[in-house]
Amino acid sequence: MAGPGDEVAAADDRGRGGLRASHADRGRVIDSLKSAFVQGMLTKDEFDQRVGQAFGSRTHAELAALTADLRVEPAAAQPPKPVRPDGEQPVLRPGPVLAVATALCGSVWAFTFLPPWPMNSEGEPPHPVLTLFLMTNVFYVCVLVMAVVQIAVNWCDKHLGEPPPGRPAPGAGSQ
């Protein structure tokens, strides 16, 4: 059964049926085929066959033949769902922090050990260099401890389902 506006679409297809189809035209037809498949109008084999034909189609007439027997409702645009529910804390990923801290610590180690520093009368390097080296190592150990704690918290949240004290339960947002 023809609906309103089908006459215009049919006339448009007759007018440009011999024209070459673009990648965007093929993409629109494939989107229509996807919608038809999701709505149960096509089997998986029919869908695969028609998509293959759409990729091989050169003209608008060839593309129109692929969807001529389908009345496809365009998929309603749905707003994207939030990544996490309101009020839920983001999952902190310690990997990038560890990478930066490791690079920083390695750079300081190279800075303190590679250049030939002028030695004092006891044959030791200057105190500021030793202080930088020691403070960097203390900083690195603190970052490692915090990262291990965060990894443990993330693991507990994922596998045990109960957050540690002081953190809201997953999905327990404001109502």
Indicate whether 61 pLDDT > 70. yes
Same domain for 60 and 99: no
- Report the pLDDT averaged over residues 42-69: 91
Q: Is residue 5 part of a domain?
A: no
pLDDT value of residue 84: 64
Backbone angles phi, psi at 59, to 5 degrees: -120, 165
Angle at 154 (CA atoms; ends 151, 156), nearest 5 degrees: 110
Q: What is the mean pLDDT of the chain?
A: 77
Count of structural domains within the chain: 2
Same domain for 62 and 104: no
Indicate whether 10 pLDDT > 50. no
The predicted-structure confidence for 72-89, as pLDDT tens digits, reads as follows 665 555 566 666 666 666
Indicate whether 136 pLDDT > 70. yes
Residues 6 or more apart in contact with residue 130 via CB below 8 angstroms? 112, 124
Range of the domain at 60: 15-67
The rounded distance, in Å, linking the Cα atoms of 66 and 55 is 11
- Report the pLDDT averaged over residues 102-116: 85
Indicate whether 155 pLDDT > 50. yes
Q: Is residue 1 part of a domain?
A: no
pLDDT band at 157 (very low <50, low <70, confident <90, very high): confident
pLDDT band at 172 (very low <50, low <70, confident <90, very high): low
Q: Is residue 171 part of a domain?
A: no
Q: Is residue 50 part of a domain?
A: yes
Predicted model pTM: 0.40
Same domain for 108 and 55: no
Residues 6 or more apart in contact with residue 118 via CB below 8 angstroms? 126
